[in-house]
Amino acid sequence: MKISASVIARLPRYYRFFSDLSENGVTRISSNELAEMMGLTASKIRQDLNCFGGFGHQGYGYNPVQLCEQLRDILALPSKRKAILIGAGNLGRAVTNQIAFADNGFDLIGIFDSDPMFKGMKIKDIPIMSDDVIPKFCIDNNPEMAVLCLTESKAPEMVDLLYSLGIRGFWNFSHFDIKRKYPDAIVENVHLSDSVMLLSYKMIKKKDEET
Amino acid sequence: MKISASVIARLPRYYRFFSDLSENGVTRISSNELAEMMGLTASKIRQDLNCFGGFGHQGYGYNPVQLCEQLRDILALPSKRKAILIGAGNLGRAVTNQIAFADNGFDLIGIFDSDPMFKGMKIKDIPIMSDDVIPKFCIDNNPEMAVLCLTESKAPEMVDLLYSLGIRGFWNFSHFDIKRKYPDAIVENVHLSDSVMLLSYKMIKKKDEET
């Protein structure tokens, strides 16, 4: 069965809610209760979760513990594909905290930065290395994914290098459009500036409506 | 005219592309060229931009410089609504860099953290203060927006406080669901963990398809 992109995009959100519920000892929840919590309709929730093979039990509802495990498998969270991170600045550090401590499908094995001030330092026990050693490191370790926490101007050249070294997955915080150059790359873009601009727009809109 | 949420969500992206183009001295671009660059269809682009009042000129195309200025106004980027940031860790620092240096509709006027180790420090010339002084600071300065770079467990209490102090806009990096408790709040959520989980899913899916 082909699952729509919009359903897939909601999976991590389901996973978050089910994790919270099961951590809080909830062993049973109805689609109506879920709907209220998640701000979706109950029928949408049943539809979404059905895409992944009838998780619910008629008259019982959903078991968050079980769903959590199933979603973990679907999202491939227990798998530990090797990842590297480019850019050891504040954003790189924040993302390292994010990626190094949770099951999210990846194992961060190296951090790279062109700035010599980082030489010899570690973040969460992961060594920061110079950009120069990226080729050797990738040949030796075969990472599959790279997190890009570098400025847009440096991104094109870095992506060329990483792609040539076999990396196909990118968690991209730069604004460089990777898929345009490499259509077979698998990319998740995070555009923080887009998000804050949207907030600005919504706030001004609301003010206009009120006046 | 009521503009759909999906069009609005694309505005920052248009703004980014038009900024780049005008910075690169491009004074004229067709919807077909834009479509190729942005990975959208030309008719979608014409439709989107028409929502904001016929920017294009038949037979000429679009003027990025002009569009950029119009989108700046639409997104209220030149306005400087006061914002505060909660959480001076790596994520808070990264976000400060993001928000303090660009026109994005906000002016970051204070950073707060409960950890005394930050006391007396500054990020980008903005003082880090103790959480205790948030009420006084807000009463004196009337910020309209708060960036939440704190853990989910601390978020509910902080949101209660900020809401009670009149803040209605939230750029939310915690997973706490603000809109559920305060439906009239204006919220942009950034779920970094959702993004990396989706990447994991897409990478495993691709692998499945190839084998």
The amino acid at B43: S
What sign does the dihedral A155-A159-A161-A162 (CA atoms) show?
positive
- Shortest distance between the Cα of B10 and any Cα of chain A, in A, equals 9
> What is residue B53's predicted lDDT score, i.e. its pLDDT?
63
Q: Quick one: tokens of B40?
A: 């959208």
Tens digits of per-residue pLDDT, A129-157? 999 999 999 999 999 999 999 988 899 99
Work out the angle between the directed axes of helices A134-141 and A155-164 (0-180°, nearest 10).
Answer: 30
- Which residue on chain A is closest to B80 by alpha carbon? A200
Q: Which residues of B touch A79 (CB under 8 A)?
A: 200, 204
Angstrom distance (rounded) from CA B98 to CA B104: 9
**Cβ neighbours, 10 Å, residue A79:** 17
Predicted confidence (pLDDT) per residue in B9-35, tens digit: 899 999 989 998 998 899 889 888 989
User: Residue B201 and residue B206: Cα distance in Å, rounded?
Assistant: 9
Provide the ipTM: 0.90
Report CB contact under 8 Å: A93, B98: no
A155-203, pLDDT tens digit by residue? Answer: 999 999 999 999 999 999 998 999 999 999 999 999 999 999 999 999 9
Burial of B60 (0-12, 13-18, 19+ CB in 10 A): exposed
Say how many CB pairs under 8 Å bridge A and B. Answer: 185
Please list the residues that pair with B112 across neighbouring strands.
B86, B129
- Which of B152, B176, B181 is CA-nearest to residue B164? B181
B181-207 in b/e form (b: 16+ CB < 10 A) is: ebeebbbbbbbbebbbbbbbbbbbeee
CB contact under 8 A, A90 and B97: yes
Specify the amino acid at residue B210. E
Which pTM was predicted? 0.90
Tens-digit pLDDT string for chain B (211 aa): 567 888 888 999 999 899 989 988 998 898 889 898 888 899 998 888 888 765 666 667 888 888 888 888 888 888 889 999 999 999 999 998 877 767 888 999 999 999 999 988 998 889 999 999 999 999 999 999 999 999 888 999 999 999 999 999 999 999 899 999 999 999 999 999 999 999 999 998 887 777 6
Pairing of β A126-130 and β A122-123? antiparallel
B195, A188: Cβ pair inside 8 Å? yes
